[in-house]
């Protein structure tokens, strides 16, 4: 197994792995269901991510096949806090058929190395509360809880006749 920086020719296979990640997340938490245009947006952004030196996409290959990936980006806290250089690890996914072979650890090691080259002080990441295997993996990598995100369900009155897809925020 080897790791390397993602390349343009990895796009189609990485898109499949990324969709599998989103499907697994949605099984754990329905609020992480994939938007209808998610794949289109991912394909649109992928070439830009490859060129952006503040981001890294690293793939794991076994016998020439891409079996996992990790995405990360430089991150710093808002300017009201003391500055510290960090790298935010956005996504990590290994094909289920290749798990428990050290591939996830190797992907994290690649991001650690890049982060250290940047002079980052730490990695930052999130993991779903329902993802017990993920929480255990990150604990084994030395991850500790920094904060917890809580949600409170609401029962709002319909505020608009505009369809939900037209009220979306973001790009």
- The model's pLDDT over 58-86, given as tens digits with 9 standing for 90+, comes to 999 999 999 999 999 999 889 999 999 99
For position 129, what pLDDT does the model report?
Answer: 92
- Per-residue pLDDT at 153: 92
DSSP 8-state class, residue 9:
G
pLDDT score, position 2: 97
Q: What is the mean pLDDT of residues 39-59?
A: 97
CA distance 135 to 100: 14
Q: Which residues pair with 3 in a beta bridge?
A: 60
Question: What per-residue confidence (pLDDT) applies to 164?
Answer: 64
Structure tokens at 85: 């250089």
Helix (H) or strand (E) holding 51: helix 38-51
Q: Can you list the domains of the chain with their CATH numbers? A: 2-166 (3.40.630.30)
Tell me the pairing of strands 86-94 and 122-125: parallel
| Position with higher pLDDT, 11 vs 159 | 11
Single out the residue of 49, 42, 44, 114 nearest to residue 85, CA to CA: 114
Reported as a single tens digit per residue, the pLDDT across 115-140 is 999 999 999 999 999 999 999 999 99
Q: Average pLDDT of 82-95?
A: 96
What mean pLDDT, rounded, does the chain reach?
A: 92
User: In which residue are the tokens 């794991």 written?
Assistant: 60
Q: Indicate the Cα dihedral angle 40, 41, 46, 47, nearest 10°.
A: 80
**DSSP code at position 94:** E
Question: Sign of dihedral through CA atoms 10, 51, 115, 136?
Answer: negative
Query: Which whole number is the average pLDDT over 95-102?
Result: 96
- Which of 29, 109, 35 lies closest to 72, judged by CA? 109
What's residue 167's pLDDT? 62
């Amino acid at each position: 197994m080897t790791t390397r920086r993602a390349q343009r020719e990895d796009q189609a296979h990485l898109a499949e792995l990324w969709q599998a990640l989103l499907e697994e997340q949605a099984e754990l938490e329905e609020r992480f269901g994939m938007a209808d245009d998610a794949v289109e947006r991912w394909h649109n952004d992928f070439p830009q991510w490859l060129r952006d030196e503040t981001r890294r996409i690293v793939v794991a290959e076994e016998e020439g096949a891409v079996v996992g990936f990790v995405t990360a980006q430089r991150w710093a806290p808002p300017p009201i806090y003391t500055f510290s250089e960090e790298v935010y690890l956005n996504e990590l996914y290994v094909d289920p058929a290749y798990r428990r072979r050290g591939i996830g650890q190797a992907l994290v090691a690649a991001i650690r190395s890049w982060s250290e080259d940047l002079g980052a002080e730490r990695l930052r990441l999130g993991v779903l509360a329902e993802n017990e295997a993920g929480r255990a993996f990150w604990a084994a990598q030395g991850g500790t809880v920094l904060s917890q995100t809580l949600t409170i369900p609401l029962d709002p009155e319909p505020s608009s006749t505009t369809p939900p897809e037209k009220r979306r925020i973001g790009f």
